[in-house]
Amino acid sequence: MLTNSEVRALPTKLVRKILRSGASDAAVRLNASSSTMIRFSNNDITVSNFFRETVLEIYIAFKERRVTGTITDLSQPSIEETVERLVSAAKTVQPSDVYAPLPRGPFKYDRRLLRVGKVKTEPEVLVDHVKASINSAISAGAKRVAGSLNATVSKTVLCTSGNVEASSTKSTIALSVRAFAADDATGQFATVAADDSDFKPEEVGSMAGEIARMAMNPVEGEPGIYDTILGPMTFAHIVDELGSAASAFNVDIGASFLVDMLGRQVASSSFTLTDDPTLSNTYGAEPFDDEGLPTRRNVIVEKGVLKTYLHNSTTAKRYGTVSTANAGIIVPTPFNLVVEAGDRSFEKLLSGVDRGIYVTNDWYLRYSNYREGDFSTVPRDGLFLIRRGSIETPIKGLRLVGNMLRLLNSIVALSTERCWIEWWEVNTPVYAPWALVSNVEFTKSTL
Amino acid sequence: MEDLLNYAVDYAMKVGASYAEARYQSDYFEEFTLRNGVPEAPAFGKSRGLSVRVIVSGSMGFASTNMMRRTDVRDAVAKAVTLAKASSRAVKNAIRMADAKSTKAEYVIKPRVKPEYVDPDSKVELLKEVDGRSVSAASRDGVKLPTRFLSIGYMITEKHVVTSEGSSVRSRIPRSMFSYMLTAAKAGKGTVQRFENMGESGGWERAERWALDERVPEEASKLAKILTEAVEPPTDTLDVVLGPELVGIICHESAGHPLEADRVLGREAAQGGETYVTRELIGERIGSEHVTIVDDPRLPNSFGYYLYDDECVEARERVLIEGGRINELLHNRETAAEFGTLSNGSSRASLYDVEPIVRMANTYMKPGDHSLEELIEGVRYGVYISSYMEWNIDDRRWNQRYVGLEAYLIRNGRLVSMLRNATIELTTKGLYSSIDAVGKDVRFYAGYCGKSEPMQSLPVWFGGPAIRLRGVRLGRSPPSDG
């Protein structure tokens, strides 16, 4: 078994070994992480988890013949066997359509991004966070509270055949709280941070508890078309879908509603979205992508117009452009999605709605057609009828049915206030405002 | 490995645990993909490591490590115990495990054709054959398939679980998988898409039985027909025949998930939500007498196959809904203790580094006595929905929606035209109570069930026969852009 320092030196050693076999390209990425996750329900901690894992990701290319491998078995024989197997497979595998060499370094990385985060991970501290969030939710009106808290410390080491030898460390914390004022009166809120000073478990608990209290005694909602305010949890979900749809790989396979939309209006002019891993000390900050390119701020949508897909070197070559430094060696992905702030408060958004619905959270978004963007999602937690600029009553039993492009093009206004959201339903951190969207359709069960 | 697992359990008990279980798990996979007719880089991977779960002072601690030295394992145990102790000051209800008999067992699925010995090139060639035939099949109706994504592969899962109560269970299960997504397009008619998974336990001989070079082109041909022929579905009240593919997902979403005991206890409240099922609802009617839904991990060749769960409890059939009445929850030992019963062997973890929780395996509706033709013949005015794309359900598992892909209008017992986006949107009780007849031919479909945090994705089957619903109104369809 290798020592810790030997493990850290592995990427460089393996890249050299792979290149000696005649490979044109190699990238080896090692990620060693320790996570503590506390889960709670009914105001009680149900399990405390500690995950310690070191993952080795290997990419080998003989020009167009490419393979990827992932292992967690870091014993010497396992590593050697895996590399031999991957090299052998790469030599004989059927070629892909393009060959894009890995980017040539060395590169300069933003020093602020090489060491992200300042988070305490001692169990006692984390248990105190949990208790604080539960207590604040109860103070705000909840009877019972559930959720999860996850603190992670990780180190990434990357070596590529393009003269990249880089490493970074990161510590982050994430909290999701669901509050129940009654079985059918719930509220949920979540936050992520890379610094304890930005982490406010009490506020997350209060927010969830307050929504739950407001959701007491809901009445059946009426299906129809409404002007709708999407809270940050739901708007982050929509934006997360947009970020995924912007991946050139997903565009290629038809798993995106942004096919043939470059340069075209995909959202209203009040919507601008960037992917910004260069925001230091945020949850999604990253100094380099999986090909070793320094990350950069990419404007995906500017005033409603789609400006770029997200690329790695291979998808960029296929599209005749340059990488946006969003590798995933096979699938480019966003890191840290930021919606530009709007120009009004939540109260102002609300006051502009004569007859509408406020969706605080949703889950289970599924497409009938990814290519067209036809989807539905199920509001959960506080769902409210808005009348003449005020929240009138909590409602239940409705489903939001729509089309992504139509919904994004129907954004009327965004709030000035934004929240960092990442939770069970939102994979990429999103800095999301409240959004007022016109003409959103809601349906309900017919029997 | 047994020594290391026993060491972990013994050490946990020595440092204060009242219960300990250690699990070694290894998951190997290979996946070959074809993107629009072009091979994409294949992926190979192996995840393996050890986890330990302990109860200390009524609090549950879990730790995992992929560093397998004795010192690493000891550290993991110490971490689990420390975490449990730290949390115990905030725990009001002590966690207990229901009684279970001590078990020693070993079971292995021996593949007839070892998937690792099948030439990778032949797997890619098969994908190319399927791809090419699908494009040709659609083009016969003047329809293009501008994007196709096909994936084929296998995984081998090895587990060894040891508990402080003397149980020890080892298993090795190979599984083969295939999935595809096709987009069909025709000028003026927009696009339609089809996504489908296939998966079975066993060797590569299972994958060879799928006849992919016929089945996928048939689906491509259906997509072409939907684009060229299908019309808007009716909006008035009618009868609905649902094919096995829809019945499977319905059973999974509105019978399997809501009857997971950890959901009833609120353990998933902040993630996948809770359930309409309460302790008081057990024994109560939720559907017509034709509805019996079970979950059975032991089905031969099933994607969700296992004989002992990850707490070393022997698997058996779980009758979730019997004759329309809620009958039995899915339990692990922890939830069984809460309910004053015994585990029915539903505890599973997806990988070595996550805790075992209550999971479905193979969930399906028991067959009745009608053929599909008889179900349709019994409808004067209605629709038959054979496949679907979009689906979802609320987090209490009550309001659900399924958007049909291949669907037909029924007039006087005959299929008369194709329908586009025929949708059902019904409550669980509304749906199950409307069933007046159940088919006799059960079919199973593969899927990956997601649950918990960290997300655990597990291979499952869901299925059933065709069913007939009387007197329902279709839900609002998505737009059919043309």
ipTM above 0.90, yes or no: yes
Domains of chain A, start order: 4-210 (3.30.2290.10), 218-443 (no CATH)
pLDDT for A139 beyond 50: yes
CATH classification (class only), B2-229: alpha beta
- Residue A427 pLDDT: 97
Residue A128 has pLDDT above 60, yes or no: yes
Q: How many CA atoms lie within 13 A of A141 on its CB side?
A: 16
Q: Do B83 and A147 touch (CB under 8 A)?
A: no
Which of B41, B86, B355 lies nearest to residue A127, judging by beta carbons?
B86
Distance in Å, alpha carbon of B346 to nearest chain A alpha carbon: 18
What is the pLDDT confidence band of residue B482, given thresholds at 50, 70 and 90? very low
List the single residue in B267, B399, B472 with the smallest CB-CB distance to A399. B399
- Backbone phi, then psi, for A252, in 5-degree steps? -60, -40
Question: Given the DSSP bridges, would you call strands A298-302 and A273-275 parallel, antiparallel or unpaired?
Answer: antiparallel
Residue B481 has pLDDT above 60, yes or no: no
Tens-place pLDDT, residues A195-223: 999 999 999 999 999 999 999 999 999 99
- Residue B273: list chain A partners with CB under 8 A: 363, 380
Residues from chain A contacting residue B181 (CB–CB below 8 Å): 253-255, 370
User: Are the C-beta atoms of residues B55 and A109 closer than 8 Å to each other?
Assistant: no
Q: What are phi and psi of A271, to 5 degrees?
A: -115, 120
Q: What is the largest CA-CA distance in chain A?
A: 72
Q: What is the pLDDT of residue A240?
A: 98
Confidence at B136, pLDDT banded by 50, 70, 90: very high
Which residue, chain included where needed, has tokens 């050697």? A80
CB contact (8 A) between residue B43 and residue A68 = yes
Q: Nearest Cβ partner of B191 from A38, A67, A369? A: A369
Residue B74 CA to residue B7 CA, distance in Å, equals: 8
Interface of A with B in 82-121 (CB under 8 A): 82, 85-86, 89, 92-97
Could you read off the pLDDT of A256-279 as tens digits, one per residue? 999 999 999 999 999 999 999 999
In B, which residues are within 8 Å of A441 by CB distance?
A: 476
Q: How far apart are CA B94 and CA B333, in angstroms?
A: 14
Confidence of residue A1 (pLDDT cuts 50, 70, 90): low
Of the candidates B43, B395, B430, the beta carbon closest to that of A447 is on: B430
Record: contact B92-A44, CB cut-off 8 A: yes
**For range B131-151, the mean pLDDT:** 97
**pLDDT bracket for residue A8 (50, 70, 90):** confident
Q: What mean pLDDT do residues A382-401 have?
A: 98
Amino acid A6: pLDDT:
77
Q: Nearest chain A Cα to B428, which residue?
A: A447
Find the residue in A nearest to B192 (Cα). Answer: A369
Which residues in chain B are contacts of A74 at CB distance < 8 A? 66-67
Give B202-227 pLDDT, tens digit per residue.
Answer: 999 999 999 999 999 999 999 999 99
Contact indicator for B63, A52 with CB cutoff of 8 Å: yes
Q: Does B179 touch chain A (CB under 8 A)?
A: no
- Residues in B touching A96 (Cβ below 8 Å): 38-41
Residue in chain B closest to A127 (alpha carbons) equals: B87
Residue B117: CB atoms within 10 Å: 9
Average pLDDT of span B126-136? 98
Residues 138-167 of A with CB under 8 A from B: 144, 146-148, 150
| Best residue of B28, B147, B423 to probe chain A, by most A CBs closer than 10 Å | B147
Please list every residue in chain B whose beta carbon sits closer than 8 Å to the beta carbon of residue A53: 49, 64-66, 353
Q: Which of B72, B40, B440, B103 is nearest to B244 (CA)?
A: B440
Strand order in the sheet with B414-419: B414-419, B407-411, B381-385, B237-242, B467-473, B435-438
Under an 8 A CB cutoff, do A52 and B64 touch? yes
Two tokens, residue A189: 């809120």
- Segment holding A313, helix H or strand E: helix A313-319
B residues 196..225 contacting A (CB < 8 A): none
pLDDT of residue B89: 81
Nearest CA to B322 out of B365, B363, B279, B361 is that of B365
How far apart are the CA of A33 and the nearest CA of chain B, in angstroms? 10
Q: Is the pLDDT of residue A36 over 50?
A: yes
Find the mean pLDDT for residues B177-194: 97
* Across B55-76, average pLDDT: 94
Put simply, the chain A residues between 190 and 249 with a CB less than 8 A from any chain B CB are 223
Per-domain boundaries in chain B: 2-229, 237-473
Kindly state the average pLDDT of the residues A10-27: 97
Size of interface A-B (CB pairs under 8 A): 289
Cβ–Cβ gap A48/B430 under 8 Å: no
* Residue in B403, B421, B434 nearest the CB of A447: B434
Q: How many CA atoms lie within 13 A of B261 on its CB side?
A: 26
> Is the pLDDT at B50 greater than 60, yes or no?
yes
Test B389 with A42 for CB contact under 8 angstroms.
no
Return the pLDDT at B480. Answer: 59
C-alpha–C-alpha distance, residues A312 and A326, integer Å? 6
Which residue from A123, A378, A441 is facing B86, i.e. has the nearest CB? A123
Q: What is the pLDDT of residues A310-355, one digit of tens each?
A: 999 999 999 999 999 999 999 999 999 999 999 999 999 999 999 9
Distance CA A287, CA A170 (A): 10
Mean pLDDT of chain A: 96
Mean pLDDT across A348-373: 98
How does residue A2 score in pLDDT terms, banded at 50, 70 and 90? low
Please list every residue in chain B whose beta carbon sits closer than 8 Å to the beta carbon of residue A369: 191-193, 389, 478
Q: Using one digit for the tens of pLDDT, what is the confidence trace for A218-238?
A: 999 999 999 999 999 999 999
Average pLDDT over residues B73-101: 92
Of A69, A74, A446, the CB nearest to B426: A446
CB contact under 8 A, B426 and A46: no
pLDDT digits (tens, 9 = 90+) for A397-421: 999 999 999 999 999 999 999 999 9
Is the torsion defined by CA of B440, B445, B448, B450 positive or negative? Answer: negative
For an interface test with B, the pick among A87, A368, A371, A440 (most B C-beta atoms closer than 10 Å) comes out as: A368
Strands B237-242 and B467-473, bridge-based pairing: antiparallel
